[in-house]
Amino acid sequence: MTNKIPKWLLYCRPGFEKECAQETNALQLEAQSDSGFILVQGKPHLQFDQLIFARQLISWHGEISDLPQRDRLTPLLQALSNLVNAPKKFGALWLETPDTNDGKTLSSFTQRFQPLLEAPLIANGMLVNDPALPRLHIFFTNQNRALIGSSIPQNSAPWHMGILRQKMPHDAPSRSYLKLAEAFAILLNADEQKKWIVPGMSAVDLGAAPGGWTWQLVQHGLKVTAIDNGPLKSVAEKHPAIKHLRQDGFRYRPNKPVNWLVCDMVEQPGRVATLIADWVASGLTQHAMFNLKLPMKKRLDALTQALHEIQTVLGAKGIRYRLKAKHLYHDREEVTVFLTVK
């Protein structure tokens, strides 16, 4: 299992393996469509927070391809004892599978297998209770193949399989509520959330119907102007903190600046990017969270062009800003973007 050239295992949403591999600018070793993961080689330093389509970033140390169903433990322990260019101690053991239908069938096995593998690793001192240490990942692509790797807490997602699990509130108007909640948790750190999402702040939600993003903002105590020709549903319909205006989201502008602009309209990414750039460049909002819907082909090119449009507009006005994009778990054919003025 000697590994002199850096190799990486990355998780992604099934169907986005190509884009995940493209943005690493590394040699593709494996990027099978709809597999939910890729293997690349040759890039010495990948930064997880700069990757858009990756859910998790793992240093790949090796694999076992012919695991016997009657005894997977023995060959795995032997492989782990022979690891080269890998950490000697780990702070956690994560047994993971692809986020696919086939992968889900392995979840019951990994749950049963976890304590069986943990016990000898703890006994030999390889697994210790220290969250600052690298995590050990055993990624089962199927019942017979396991990829072995490690992740550094400071350069990876802190969640099993790279997925932040959330519960859907019974009163939320739509599942898009979870998308904005995930966006706040991933694209803002804890201090930024406390400082920038404060009760009493104002927000505009463009393309608000049926009200999932609006309701997420209201749960944080914000006062929201919801812009959509369609109706709001459920508790968002008549909530006192929500003002619903049946107007075109591309034409609406507030009388005075707001703290937040959020936007989840189904439109070409370039048009949405131009709209958001205009709001920020005009001083109408300080923070923006928005979705860019991607075409079926050349997704990464379309996203790059849209982000470049924002950068060009703000750069021409000398505005200092931070721009960050991520393909969230609750995203499908879109990417969520956070933009704030420094």
**Is the pLDDT reported for residue 181 higher than 80?**
yes
Query: End of a domain among 162, 187, 211?
Result: 162
Residue 2 in any domain: the answer is no
Q: Are residues 94 and 190 in the same domain?
A: no
Q: Which residue has the tokens 């600046």?
A: 257
User: In whole angstroms, how large is the CA radius of gyration of the chain?
Assistant: 22
Instruction: Tell me: do 149 and 229 sit in the same domain.
Output: no
Task: Look up residue 101 and give its two tokens.
Answer: 């239908």
Q: What are phi and psi of 151, to 5 degrees?
A: -130, 145
> Rounded to the nearest 10 degrees, what angle do helices 212-219 and 176-187 cross at?
50
* Same domain, yes or no: 108 and 215: no
pLDDT in tens, 77-128: 999 999 988 999 999 999 999 999 999 999 999 999 999 999 999 999 999 9
200 and 325 assigned to the same domain: yes
CATH, residue 337: 3.40.50.150
Give the model confidence (pLDDT) of 129-154 as tens digits.
999 999 999 999 999 999 999 999 99
Number of independent structural domains in the chain: 2
Residues 6+ apart with CB under 8 A from 100: 14, 34, 35, 36
Can you tell me the distance from the alpha carbon of 114 to that of 121, in angstroms, rounded to the nearest whole number? 11
Regarding whether 90 and 132 lie in a shared domain, the answer is: yes
Q: By residue range, what is the domain housing residue 81?
A: 7-162
Q: Could you tell me if residue 50 is inside a domain? A: yes
CATH number of the domain bearing residue 95: 3.30.2130.30
190 and 336 housed in the same domain = yes
Residue 1 has pLDDT above 50, yes or no: no
Looking at the structure, do residues 328 and 180 belong to the same domain, yes or no?
A: yes
259-301 residue pLDDT tens: 999 999 999 999 999 999 999 999 999 999 999 999 999 999 9
Say if 256 falls within a structural domain: yes
Query: Does residue 80 fall inside a structural domain?
Result: yes
Residues that are catalytic:
293
Provide the phi-psi class of 207: left if phi over 0, else alpha when psi is between -120 and 50, else beta.
Answer: left
Query: Both 306 and 158 in a single domain?
Result: no
- For residue 171, being part of any structural domain is answered with no
Q: Which of 162, 197, 214 is the last residue of a domain?
A: 162
For 240-262, what is each residue's pLDDT tens digit?
999 999 999 999 999 999 999 99
Grouping H, G, I as helix, E, B as strand and the rest as coil, residue 229 is coil
20 and 91 together in one domain: yes
Q: Are residues 122 and 244 in the same domain?
A: no
Helix (H) or strand (E) segment spanning residue 274: helix 269-281
Contact (Cβ atoms closer than 8 angstroms) between residue 38 and residue 20: yes
Last residue of a domain, one of 130, 162, 194: 162
| Same domain membership, residue 154 and residue 180 | no
- Domain membership of residue 152 (yes or no) is yes
- Residue pair 225/205 in contact (Cβ under 8 Å)? The answer is yes
Considering the domain architecture, whether residues 181 and 325 belong to the same structural domain is answered as: yes
Q: Are strands 202-206 and 258-263 parallel, antiparallel or unpaired?
A: parallel
The answer to whether the Cα torsion of 239, 242, 243, 248 is positive or negative is negative
Run of H or E including 311: helix 299-316
